[in-house]
Each structure stands twice: as structure tokens, then as C-alpha cells.
Amino acid sequence: MSTPSYNVIGTRPPRHDGADKVTGRAIYAADFQMNGLLHGAMVRSTHAHAILKRVDTTKAAAFPGVVAVVTADDFPQTPDRIVDLGEGETPVSHLRGNVLAKGKVLYQGHAIAAVAATSLQAAEQAAKLIEVEYEPLPCVLTAVEAMADGAPLLHGGDTNVTAHVHHAMGDSDAAFAGAAVLIEREFTTATVHQGYIEPHAATVLWNNDGRVNVWCSTQGSFVVRDVVSCLLDLPVSQVRVTPTEIGGGFGGKIPVYLEPVAALLSKKSGRPVKLVMSRRDVFEGSGPTPGSMMRVKIGADADGKFIAAQAFLAYEAGAYAGGMVGAGAMCVFAAYDIANQTIDGYDVLVNKPSTAAYRAPGAPNAAFATESVVDEIARELKMDPLELRLRNASREGTRRADGPKFRRVGCVEVIEAMQAHPHYSAPLGEPSHAEAKRGRGVAIGYWFNIGLPSSCVISVNADGTANLIEGSTDIGGTRTSIAMQAAEVMGIPVDQIQPTVVDTDTIGYTGVTGGSRTTYATGWAAHDAAQDVIRQMKLRAAKLWQTEAVDFADGVFRAGERAMTFAELAGKMSETGGPVVGQASVNPRGAGGSFAGVIVDVEVDTGTGKTTVLRFTAVQDAGRAIHPSYVEGQMQGGSVQGIGWALNEEYWMNPEGRMMNASLLDYRMPTILDVPMIDTQIVEVPNPAHPFGVRGVGEANIVSPPAGIANAIRDAIGVRLYHLPMNPPAVAAAIGGQK
């Protein structure tokens, strides 16, 4: 396939929001101010599982400065029903119950009540006066414990298992008989948090005319609008959500926590109310991604061809159904062409916060298991681990056990790029001291690229510039990557287009910034809106020139001898019929998805068990890299988060279900001093399902790092770890157990 020549796509222009962000002028949710603002404080459960016997707000309501106090009883008690408001199918009672607990608390940190006062100090002191009487219940903290007979049940019934997904093709049990190598291992991973640097924050004004205005940090302003209108029993047109700048989300800012509560407080007080989470609230009261237990079995023939595979995945859902195991079950063997597969996944309630998406949710857990087993097979067969992966790689036409056949994908190209990368053949170098050992590991992984609706409107100005509005909150430079696609179509430089993310009244429905969809789907809408602009501009030229056939290429409109640049024609809009406004909405399906892989060198201090990542190379198929710097930024970001997940991050819970490390000090995300420069290599296998070939690149890059690091540690110390995080105590214990 020949590479089309582009003027804008593939370049690296400065981002439109860059100046505001580096100068500190950008307005994030907690920065938002307005006249008469009240400050809110929440009361959160101190128990992981308890019946709420009594919530008495009398003393708090009487505290000086307090204007309103709310509990779950203040929500309209609409009959329960199943809704899909952008987070998957959920009963309204679960959405409502997670926002403010009713009858029972299901995790420590579960919100119970809220206070609004004229100062934050007054709100916090008043919140402490709310009396909550608990009847503690036994708690259950892991999927395995929660699946056991006699486990405490979170939502009654007879089991904590809320869903069992089962995918099968061929006959894996029978096929294992023909395996020359058969490896089956069990893995566990701890609950981890996305760790976005900006805590959740929201301000709501319930206006006198009944309209509800929301300003908040979210990945999906339309999700917030729909959840708020649903929980408050309002028509969606009565709720307007204005997304502020967002300091990271990674999936964790899709769920709605504060907005409905701030709305209730605003309704009661008649004033705008702001709620801001502390870091502790973020850890305890927002959605982490699941801890898990996995069993993976793969059989290969003597040539290394995988002939059968089985997976058992039990993922924590947290306090409510709808965890991440579904995607885990779809991804567990997605990188490989294996004829016989059986996959069982279980979504299991535990007394932890309701889990949320986190960058390729469910896939890093599964890849840790699969890629560790694949590494063992390579060792067993004495085969190069990338050669083994290449031999089994998914390609166009490969069927996944969950049904779909891959269209054109870049799994093979990613592995080949890893093989050819200088890192893969570079010497490991001498250990830095006598007690240090070095090793290298590789791993690959897959993640989807969802579609969902997106809308875009482009208004042309008389000077030839344009304003583009869209509804995807910008986390990774998407204003620019979207505007670049419009600029390419319109034949003008991208700095002539001013992109703005607008509120829910101003643009058509746009799905979440998630699922690696924004540059793909909203970029597609921008492409189509720009085509609409050009179509209208051609008509204007035709009118001017009294002709029917107008061509447009390289930014110039032509008919015979006559020619006008985009800007020249824009200057004649007024006389040819008024403003030109292009618009488009899309809801693409059948997106291609992205494969990615890592090569990792580590040094392990065998005395302390500490792992240092020496060198890290990330390779990913971007389809078509619209703005290569932002693609590389996504690859580096996912790699760093994967390193944290692999080595130190975890919810460290005591037996009563209290998270003991709910601070950035003790949660131990990697700092800049804990990671090497992440080397990146973009592979481009264009996505046939996008006008420019774009594949979403936000997520696949976190899938393989934990497995790659696990394989590197195994290479260094000669012993494999089966649990994440592989922190210094765990590595030291593994080395000690080997002696």
C-alpha cells in the first residue's frame, strides 16, 4: 500500500491549548469560581461493609455557615430500571447507590452524606458532626474469597458472581493431548488506581428556572449530563454540562461521583456548590481497576505453534456489577492465532470501590498471565521469544474466541519491528555491582478501538481561518489531532483552525474520551465536517464563477482558468450566501484496534529485591500517526503506568477493608527518577476503517509492560513471579525461596 502524501498529517505542530497549560492559565475543575459559591464536604464510610442504621444530620445542619445537608433520601425515588448512559448497562439504583449510599455501605470511602457551607472549613467541621451508626458486616476483599461458599454477600442473592462470560472455539481439552509443551500457571494482581494527577471536582448551579448547570472534570460531558438528569429525574435538555480542562482520567473520569450530589446541595441551598475530592477520597471513593486471579494454560507443538489455550479469569467488580472481566476475556489470547480456545471470565463483587476503566481495562491483567506463559514456552522450546510470538501472531482473518475475525491489523509488523530494533540485539551490559543481576524481557498486547458517536461543527471566517467545535474533552492533545484532520481536508495550516471543546448544549452528542476513540472517531467527524465545508465552498465558487464544475486541491478552488485560495473564497462568503458552516456526526463501527509490544532491560539488586528498569522500548501500531509526538506521548505514558503497576502500585488493604496507603507517598506510583527515557517506535499499518487510517493509540501501550517486566525479572534472577506488584519484598522472597 502506497503512503499517501499529506500536508498536515504526520507533522508535529504546537498544541492549541499548550500556552494556557504551561502558563497555568488553563481552568481545571477545582479552579472554577462564581459568585455566591458554597463549598461542600462529604461524609464517607469508615467501614468496608455495614448496614447504615442511622444517619443523623441535625447537628451539622445547625452548624454556623452550613446552608444545606443531603443524604441518599434527597434523591427522587424513581422506580429502578436498567439504563446505559455511556458506562454500560446499569440499574439506576446502583448509580444512585454509589453516589450516596442507601441502607448499606459496600466499601470504605462509600459516600453517605454531604454538607454545603459558606466556607470549606465550616463544611468540613460540620461534616464531622453528622452521626452515622453502623452495624458492621463481615467484608470480602478478593475475587477468590468472594466466590467461596459462605462468603459475605454484597447484594444478597446466593453469590457474589454477577456475570460469567464464556468463549470457546474448537476443543481445547482434546487438543492439549497433542502438545509437545504444555504450561499452566496461576497469577494474581492487586487492585490499582489510574493515578490521574487532578482529583475529581465539580461545581453545580441549580438555577431558579429549573436548569442545572454543571462544570466538572470528566472524560464524557454527555455521560455526566445523562447520569445527572437520570438521577435527578429531569429531561436531559434541562442539564448543561461544561467540561473544564482535565488533569488526566485514563478511564477513571468516566463514572460520575460528585455532580449529582452537588446538584442536590445546590437545589436545597439555591446557590452554586463546589465539591472537590482529596487524594484520599480519590483512592477510596473513585473507581480503581480490578485486582484479579487468573489461570492460563497454553499448549504448543514442537515447532512452537500454539494448538490450544484455556483461561480462567476472576476479576473484582468492586461494590457493583459491571467490572472489567469482559474485555479481559476478549483480549487474553487476542494476540495469537489459536484454533482451540476456552475462556471463562467471572465478574465478582468485593467490598472495594466499584471498579472503573483504566487504560485498556482488563487487558494488562490478562496479558501478564498469557505473556508469562508464552515466555515459559519459549524457554522450554529454547526458541527466541519474538520468533515464537511471530509464529503465532494474529493477522487479518484470525478469529478471536469471542467471535470476531480481525480485519487488517499490525500484530506481525509490531513483532517484526521489535526484532529489528537495535535494543533487541544490544548487549545487556555488566551489572552495576556484585549483588546485581540483569535481564531482558519482551511481551506484546492488544486493545480495541471503539467507535461511538461524535459530532463536529466548523465555521469558516471571512479571513480564511476557521473555528472548530467538538465535544471530546481533551486529555492527550486531541484538540490538535482532530483539527489536523480538518486542516488536511480544507488545505489550510492547522494553526488557522481554532478548536474548542464545548458544553453539551452547543454540540451534538459525543461519546466519552475513552476506548482510544477520540482521534479516531471525533477526528473522523472533523474530516467529514471539513468535507462539508469544502462542498459548500465549491458551491459558492460555482455561484461566483457562474459555472458548475469547481475542483478543489491543495487549498485552491479552480474552474478552468479561474482560481481562488481558500482564504480568498472565504472573503466572498457574505456576497455568496452568508456564513459557511460545515458539520458532521459519525458513529463508526468495526474499528481496527492496536497491537503494541515492549522490550525491557532490568537490573535486580538481589540483596534488596529492588528492580531498576534500565532500558525500555515501546512499539505500537498507530495505523496512521496524525501527530507523532502525541502518539509517542501516549506510548510513554502507558509504559510508565505499566511500570508502576508491575513494580510497586497496589491497594494495600488491612483485613477490615481499609486502604492503608491512600496517599501518593505510600501508593508509590513511579516518579521521573524511577523510569528511564522510554524509547518509542511507531508502526503504521493503516486502519481500513478510517479515512486517514487512524487507529486509537491511547491504551494498547499499557497492556504488555507488566508482562515484559515480569519476563525480564525472570531472565535476570532465574525465578518467575506470579503476582503483581513485583515489589522489592516479593522479589527478595522469590530469590530467598530459590536459595
Partner 1 sequence: MKPFDYVAPTTLDEAVHALAGNPAARVLAGGTDLLAQLKGGRRETPLVVDVKRIPDLLSIRMEEGGLRLGAAVPCIRIATNPDVRAQYPALAEVASLIGGTAIQGRASIGGNLCNAAPSADAVPLLIVLSAVARVAGPAGIREIAVEDFCVAPGKNALGEGEFLVDLFLPKPAAGFKAHYLRFIPRNEMDIAVVGVGVSATVTDGQITTARLALASVAPTPLFVREVTEALVGKAPSAEAIAGAAALAEAAAKPISDMRAPAEYRRHLCGVLSRRALTAVLQ
**Residues recognised as catalytic:** 699
Residue 607, interface with partner 1 (CB under 8 A)? Answer: yes
Angstrom CA distances, 652 to 183, 227, 707, 730, stand at: 31, 31, 21, 14
Residue 648, interface with partner 1 (CB under 8 A)? Answer: yes
Comparing CB distances to partner 1, the nearer of 205 and 735 is 735
Span near partner 1 by CB under 8 A; candidates 255-263, 662-670, 697-705, 711-719? 662-670
Residue 217, interface with partner 1 (CB under 8 A)? Answer: no
The nearest distance, CB 691 to partner 1, in angstroms, is 44
The nearest distance, CB 364 to partner 1, in angstroms, is 20
Number of Cβ atoms within 10 Å of the Cβ of 178: 13
Span near partner 1 by CB under 8 A; candidates 422-430, 471-479, 539-547, 606-614? 606-614
Among 647, 678, 697, 700, binds partner 1 (CB under 8 A): 647
Comparing CB distances to partner 1, the nearer of 673 and 677 is 673
Comparing CB distances to partner 1, the nearer of 584 and 710 is 710
Q: Which helix (H) or strand (E) holds 573?
A: none
> Pick from 289, 304, 227: which is nearest to 258 by CA?
227
Expressed in angstroms, the distance from the first to the final Cα of the chain is 55
Helix axes 705-717, 628-647, angle to 10 degrees: 50
The nearest distance, CB 654 to partner 1, in angstroms, is 8
> Pick from 396, 343, 386, 291: which is nearest to 172 by CA?
343
> Pick from 135, 152, 159, 265: which is nearest to 205 by CA?
265
> Pick from 497, 499, 504: which is nearest to 522 by CA?
499
Comparing CB distances to partner 1, the nearer of 665 and 677 is 665
Number of residues that bind partner 1 (CB under 8 A): 25
Residue 437, interface with partner 1 (CB under 8 A)? Answer: no
Residue 661, interface with partner 1 (CB under 8 A)? Answer: yes
Among 416, 503, 656, 674, binds partner 1 (CB under 8 A): 674
**Contact status, residue 694 vs residue 678, Cβ threshold 8 Å:** no
Span near partner 1 by CB under 8 A; candidates 260-268, 458-466, 527-535, 665-673? 665-673
Comparing CB distances to partner 1, the nearer of 226 and 649 is 649
Comparing CB distances to partner 1, the nearer of 271 and 668 is 668
Give the Cα separation of 22 and 91 in Å (integer).
42
Span near partner 1 by CB under 8 A; candidates 159-167, 592-600, 671-679, 695-703? 671-679
The nearest distance, CB 437 to partner 1, in angstroms, is 15
The nearest distance, CB 427 to partner 1, in angstroms, is 24
Comparing CB distances to partner 1, the nearer of 125 and 351 is 125
The nearest distance, CB 145 to partner 1, in angstroms, is 20
**Residues 612-641: x/- map of binding to partner 1 (CB under 8 A)?**
------------------------------
The nearest distance, CB 726 to partner 1, in angstroms, is 11
Tallying the residues shown for the chain, one arrives at 739
> Pick from 14, 8, 3, 9: which is nearest to 477 by CA?
14
Residue 668, interface with partner 1 (CB under 8 A)? Answer: yes
The nearest distance, CB 606 to partner 1, in angstroms, is 9
Residue 188, interface with partner 1 (CB under 8 A)? Answer: no
Among 22, 302, 665, 677, binds partner 1 (CB under 8 A): 665
**Contact status, residue 191 vs residue 725, Cβ threshold 8 Å:** no
Q: How many helices (H) and strands (E) does the chain have?
A: 21, 29
For residue 548, which phi and psi values (nearest 5 degrees)? -110, -30
Residue 19, interface with partner 1 (CB under 8 A)? Answer: no
Residue 432, interface with partner 1 (CB under 8 A)? Answer: no
589: CB partners within 8 A, 6+ apart: 451, 689
Residue 119, interface with partner 1 (CB under 8 A)? Answer: no
User: Which regions of 1-49 does DSSP assign to beta strands (E)?
Assistant: 38-44
Give the Cα separation of 9 and 519 in Å (integer).
12
The nearest distance, CB 36 to partner 1, in angstroms, is 24
Starting at the edge strand that comes first in sequence, how are the strands of the sheet with 562-565 ordered?
551-553, 556-559, 562-565
Residue 719, interface with partner 1 (CB under 8 A)? Answer: no
Comparing CB distances to partner 1, the nearer of 10 and 609 is 609
**Residues 122-151: x/- map of binding to partner 1 (CB under 8 A)?**
---x--------------------------
Q: Which helix (H) or strand (E) holds 372?
A: helix 363-381
How does DSSP assign 36-73, residue by residue?
A: T-EEEEEEE-SSSSEEEEEEE-HHHHTSTTEEEEEEGG
Among 86, 247, 670, 706, binds partner 1 (CB under 8 A): 670
Angstrom CA distances, 61 to 71, 264, 271, 347, stand at: 12, 15, 16, 40
Residue 673, interface with partner 1 (CB under 8 A)? Answer: yes
Q: Which helix (H) or strand (E) holds 146?
A: helix 143-147
The nearest distance, CB 105 to partner 1, in angstroms, is 21
For residue 106, which phi and psi values (nearest 5 degrees)? -115, -10
Span near partner 1 by CB under 8 A; candidates 69-77, 195-203, 208-216, 668-676? 668-676
Q: Which of residues 720-739 bind partner 1 (CB under 8 A)?
A: 727-729, 732-733, 736
Among 3, 58, 121, 547, binds partner 1 (CB under 8 A): 121
The nearest distance, CB 158 to partner 1, in angstroms, is 34
Q: Mapping DSSP to helix (H, G, I), strand (E, B) and coil, where does residue 91 land?
A: strand
Residue 610, interface with partner 1 (CB under 8 A)? Answer: yes
Give the Cα separation of 355 and 208 in Å (integer).
36
Helix axes 92-99, 259-269, angle to 10 degrees: 70
The nearest distance, CB 728 to partner 1, in angstroms, is 5
Q: Say whether the peptide bond before residue 655 is cis (omega within 30 degrees of 0).
A: no
Q: Scanning the structure block, which residue is given the C-alpha cell 464536604?
A: 41
Comparing CB distances to partner 1, the nearer of 609 and 705 is 609
Among 3, 78, 207, 608, binds partner 1 (CB under 8 A): 608
Eight-class DSSP state of 555: T
Comparing CB distances to partner 1, the nearer of 22 and 665 is 665
Comparing CB distances to partner 1, the nearer of 34 and 660 is 660
**Parallel, antiparallel or unpaired: strands 104-105 and 89-91:** unpaired
Angstrom CA distances, 616 to 266, 422, 713, stand at: 49, 12, 13
Span near partner 1 by CB under 8 A; candidates 207-215, 358-366, 619-627, 663-671? 663-671
User: Which regions of 179-254 does DSSP assign to beta strands (E)?
Assistant: 181-189, 201-206, 212-216, 239-243
At 110, list the grid cell.
462509600
**Contact status, residue 10 vs residue 628, Cβ threshold 8 Å:** yes
Comparing CB distances to partner 1, the nearer of 135 and 666 is 666
Span near partner 1 by CB under 8 A; candidates 54-62, 388-396, 591-599, 604-612? 604-612
Comparing CB distances to partner 1, the nearer of 435 and 568 is 435
At 195, list the grid cell.
493515578
The residues that touch partner 1, with contacts defined as CB under 8 A, are 121, 125, 607-610, 647-648, 652, 660-661, 664-666, 668, 670-671, 673-674, 727-729, 732-733, 736
